Structure 1
Amino acid sequence: MSLSGKKVLVLTANYFEESELIYAVYRLREEGAEVTVASPDGAALTGKNHMSPFPVDASYDAVGANSFDAVVIPGGFAPDLVRRFPKALELVRDINAANKPVATVCHGGWVAISAGIVKGRKATAVSAIKDDMVNAGVNFVDEPVVVDGNLITSRVPADMGLWMKALIEAIRTAS
């Protein structure tokens, strides 16, 4: 069963991890999902490895949580910028409150922390933010992918295959 008819929001900013953003976007599109990449102001973005501008579909302010079936937050250093925008945090909170999949990888956990959706939940992230996750009340585990209800987390680019399989299944089965 494809993801045809499903809409996925990707929240990112400059200095994103190229492999995490590109793989997620194209893998979801390959499954038939309509993917919207959003940045703070809707402008094209540059990755942390200075990849040429990556196209963006909308600004955070131009999208609404009710329009999406899931949200994806790639890592790199972008999450430290994303979490500074109240609208981005509102989108994550609203999608989480609707029990729709919220997927983070690497430093993407920072956005989930700032959105206040991780306390008491089991999750993983890149080891560099383990202390941040634990201090936010996460039951942190060092595994390639962790699914706790609608929260799907992963550590690093090497774990992307398992993370995307879990996310795709969560989107397929979400009501």
Structure 2
Amino acid sequence: MNNRRIMIFIENLYQELELWYPLLRLKEEGIETKLVGTGSSDLYSGRNGFPAKPETTASSITSRDFDGIIIPGGFAPDYLRRYPAIINLVKETFQQGKLIGALCHGPSVLISADVVRGKRITGNRAIRDDIVNAGGEYVDYQTVVDGNILTAQGPNDLPVFMKEVMSFFSQSKPRLKNPFPEGFLYDTHLEKMSFSMIVKETPTVLLFFDSIASPIAQKALVDCNRLSESINQLGGKFLAVSMDSIYVQKDYATKMELIYPLFSDVSGDTIRAFGVKGRNGLAEWAIFMIDKNGILRYSENCPSGDIENLPGYKRHLENLFNY
């Protein structure tokens, strides 16, 4: 989960558990959090008097620099929804397909941002009519997921809510123009290597794929020999990652005479960090480009395995060696 950044909105009379539980769980997963206030105060008090200090204000940040928002409940949302900068962040985050999580009365902020229309939403039963009147469908359930909007009814639902948040990030890619997520992989010589060791300050094209046994892989992985050769000639490297065992990969690479390295991520940790773990538990077919400084420059899903015909692939490959 490295390199993820989440805004947590805060105002007076916030619900303490709905702020601190997500904040600590996100930190535990290595996700950077930022307490974002409205600018009305340098210190906010929760419903039970517990203080929290904002680290920045909504008017001084942009949604492009974050991967999502969490909005705790309590009475704080009634204040938050009055500030245009808060509403703009919600609208932009929604439009960008990034995470929006809201608890208890938190969905009232989503109502003011006009993003609940046509969505399945839960929350405190007191705002049921507000959700319906704003064009949403109120679902009387502890936690509800509809696209990039995650909502929960209250603090008792935090464990399930946070599981859904983590699941969302395991299926969403890290932001471009940021360092790649660190992780560990095994090569076909049974050596455990960090991803930074593998890349070694070299422009890299990284392919994730589901399994050597899949029909797409049987052809696409062999075709990648030609792709790898052209990338090597430019001074870069090409490598592929799946959850197959090291022994299966080694046997296949030898049999098919692959000229590029295969790496095994049996635990799926690196696959999750790159946001390409599919619903079947395996990696999705996806391509990433990483420059010599370790910055992500391009990412795209390629379910057909046809990498070279992906939108913008050739242009980004040419640019990869100019950073």
Using the size of structure 2 for normalisation, the TM-score is 0.52
Contact 2:11 2:44 in 1 (8 A): yes
Please state which structure has a larger fraction of its residues in helix: 1
Distance 2:110 2:44 in 1: 21
Unaligned runs of 5+ in 2: 174-323
Structure 1 residue corresponding to 2:106, chosen from 105, 108, 131 = 108
Per the alignment, residue 27 of structure 1 pairs with: 25
Q: Which amino acid in 2 is paired with 1:78? A: A
Unaligned runs of 5+ in 1: none
Contact 1:43 1:59 in 2 (8 A): no
Per the alignment, residue 120 of structure 1 pairs with: 118
Per the alignment, residue 144 of structure 1 pairs with: 142
Higher RCO, 1 or 2 (CA under 8 Å, sep at least 6)? 1
Q: Which has the larger radius of gyration?
A: 2
The alignment covers a number of residue pairs equal to: 172
Moved over 3 A (4+): none
Contact 2:123 2:153 in 1 (8 A): yes
Contact 2:10 2:54 in 1 (8 A): no
Distance 1:44 1:30 in 2: 24
* 1:92 aligned onto 2:90: yes
* Residue 50 of structure 1: how far off its partner (Å): 1.3
Cα deviation, 1:91-138, whole Å, max 9, x if unaligned, reads 000000000010000000000000010001001001111111111111
Per the alignment, residue 47 of structure 1 pairs with: 46
Distance 1:60 1:37 in 2: 10
Per the alignment, residue 17 of structure 1 pairs with: 15
Q: Which amino acid in 1 is paired with 2:16? A: E
Using the size of structure 1 for normalisation, the TM-score is 0.95
SS of residue matched to 1:81: helix
- Calculate percent identity across the aligned residue pairs: 35
* 1:75 aligned onto 2:73: yes
SS of residue matched to 1:16: coil
* Residue 24 of structure 1: how far off its partner (Å): 0.9
Contact 1:7 1:70 in 2 (8 A): yes
RMSD, aligned CA:
0.9
